[in-house]
Amino acid sequence: MYEKIFLKKEKLKNSPHPWFFSGALTKSYDNLGIGAIVDLYYKEKFISRGYYNNKTSIAYRVLTYNENEEINKEFFIQKLKKSQELIKKVVNSSKTNAYRLVFGENSYLPGLIIDRYDDYFVIQLHTAGMENLKSVIKDAIVELFSPKAIINKSNIQARKIEGLKPYEEVLYGEISNSKIIKENNILFEIDFENSQKTGTFLDQRENRLIVQKYFKNGKLLNMFGYNGGFNLYLKDCENCKSINLDVSEKALLQYQKNLKLNKMNEENHSFLKADIFKMVADNYQFEDKFDAIVLDPPALAKNVKNKKRAVSQYINLNKFALRNLKSGGLLFSASCTSVVKQEDYEFAIYQAALRENCQISILEKRFNSTDHPMNPFFPEGIYLKFYVIYKY
């Protein structure tokens, strides 16, 4: 039923990795349309079923190892059911109604992201293979969850590598401009039109709880604060104050709305519009040091060739944070740059402490929330690093 493509070398036939590069195949299959569903073989042996794209170096991505499994609506329904089973184990639905349902290769559905915001679903199609399957993905979501709306926010630059244009659309139903969701009983207004990512940064949900756990008194600075996720978790802390710092006026306006939703005092939880990178470059120092700082910048490198520059930026950002942190204070330091590995980020933290001439201890090393599972056969998917650091 499906066209066949062939591996060159026998040693790759048992690889559990979901990607195969063009060099692993016997030839370029230029007769196939980009994103075509194909069967991967080694000689006469079936290996897996997935999709092929001759426009990119990652030529083939695995969808199933079952030769009898068709790639259709029922395939996605079964995959989504399995994802929902995981969600039931890791998300308390009485407190949280927003989470990642499908996490690409980590959920064994390469190129597909599905985030659920209560009765709204937001999808991203990173690859031509998933773009071609858009209609069956939509039908599977509708049949299984009966959503109010499905929004396709495939406005990501990574699609250009696949020969695709970034775009957005309402794929199903009707949407309002915003949706109020709850995360650990904290309320967020999600502005689907002006938001970053699919709406907010769901991967830090459990790490926001960690900030709430450790920080009980004093003043916190949230660098790259966006819509104030970490600040909002101080809702019930009577002795806590915070500043949400971001360069985006839209993000800070969203933060103000979130403060009101959670009935938080704006005098205690203020905001500052500023360019953090300029502050770092200017060696800026706040008049009063902070009791805690959250450092959670956007990804600083998209590929390995920019890794060295990213590590240098991380050193400077952590140095800035440590300079503005009191002795006895806590730094919650994160990196979502996938090409900067755990050891690279720890190097940046150590260098920052050395250059700032201060002593630190790492109290915890954490990753993304558990609704963002990590596939052990796909190390590229391990991207978020989160450290709880004590400054002496």
The secondary structure of 221-285 as a DSSP string is EEET-TTTHHHHTTTT-TTEEEEEEES-HHHHHHHHHHHHHTT--TTTEEEEE--HHHHHHTT--
pLDDT at position 4 is 97
* DSSP labels, 332-392: EEEE--TTS-HHHHHHHHHHHHHHHT--EEEEEEE-S-TTS---TT-GGG---EEEEEEE-
Residue 42 belongs to some domain of the structure = yes
User: Which pLDDT score, from 0 to 100, does residue 194 have?
Assistant: 73
In the predicted model, is pLDDT for residue 199 greater than 80? no
* 338 is a domain residue: yes
Q: Are 37 and 5 in contact (CB under 8 A)?
A: no
Q: Do 39 and 122 share a domain, yes or no?
A: no
Which CA distances in Å does 369 have to 57, 80, 208, 274, 335?
30, 19, 10, 28, 14
Same domain for 21 and 165? no
Radius of gyration of the chain (CA): 22
CATH number at residue 93: 3.30.750.80
- What pLDDT is stored for residue 316 in this prediction? 98
Task: Identify the CATH number of the domain in which residue 50 sits.
Answer: 2.30.130.10
Give the pLDDT score at 200: 84
Show the domain range for 259. Answer: 201-391
Q: What is the DSSP letter of 126?
A: -
Looking at residue 136, its pLDDT comes to 98
Task: Give the per-residue pLDDT at 158.
Answer: 87
Residue 198: band (very low, low, confident or very high) from pLDDT cuts 50, 70, 90: confident
Q: Which two tokens stand for residue 176?
A: 């309002």
Same domain, 366 and 236: yes
Q: Is 305 contained in some domain?
A: yes
Q: Are residues 212 and 171 in the same domain?
A: no
Pair (265, 355) in one structural domain:
yes
Which residues, at least 6 apart from 322, have a Cβ–Cβ distance to it below 8 Å? 331, 352, 353, 356, 358, 360, 391
What CATH number has the domain bearing residue 225?
3.40.50.150
- Report whether pLDDT(177) > 80: no
Same domain assignment for residues 157 and 224: no
The one-letter code for the residue type at 167 is Y
pLDDT at 196: 66
Flag whether 94 is in a domain. Answer: yes
pLDDT in tens, 7-49: 999 888 899 999 999 999 999 999 998 999 999 999 999 999 9
In the predicted structure, residue 333 carries a pLDDT above the cut 90: yes
What is the average per-residue pLDDT within 307-328? 97
CA distance 158 to 153: 13
Asked if residue 186 is part of any domain, the answer here is no
Same domain, 208 and 323: yes
Q: Mean pLDDT in the chain? A: 95
Whether 188 maps to a domain, the answer reads no
* Predicted local confidence at residue 192, as pLDDT: 84
Q: Could you give the CA distance from residue 256 to residue 177 in angstroms, rounded to a whole number?
A: 17
Encode pLDDT of 58-109 as tens digits.
999 999 999 999 999 999 999 999 999 999 999 999 999 999 999 999 999 9
Residue type, 179: K
pLDDT at 1: 84
For residues 147 and 120, the answer to whether their CB atoms sit within 8 Å is yes
Residues 330 and 233 in one domain: yes
Are residues 320 and 288 part of one domain? yes
Can you state the percent helix, strand and coil of the chain, rounding each to 5? 30, 30, 35
Number of domains within the chain: 3
Do 233 and 107 share a domain, yes or no? Answer: no
**Domain final residue, candidates 64, 81, 108:** 64
- Please indicate, yes or no, if residue 190 is contained in any of the structural domains: no
Q: Which of 64, 86, 102 is the last residue of a domain?
A: 64
The reported pLDDT for the residue numbered 197 is 67
Q: Is residue 219 domain-shared with residue 366, that is, in the same domain? A: yes
Q: Is residue 32 part of a domain?
A: yes
Domain final position from 64, 93, 108: 64
Residue 301 shares a structural domain with residue 325: yes
Q: What's the pLDDT tens digit per position in 267-311?
A: 999 999 999 999 999 999 999 999 999 999 999 998 899 999 999
Q: How confident is the model at residue 221 (pLDDT cuts 50, 70, 90)?
A: very high
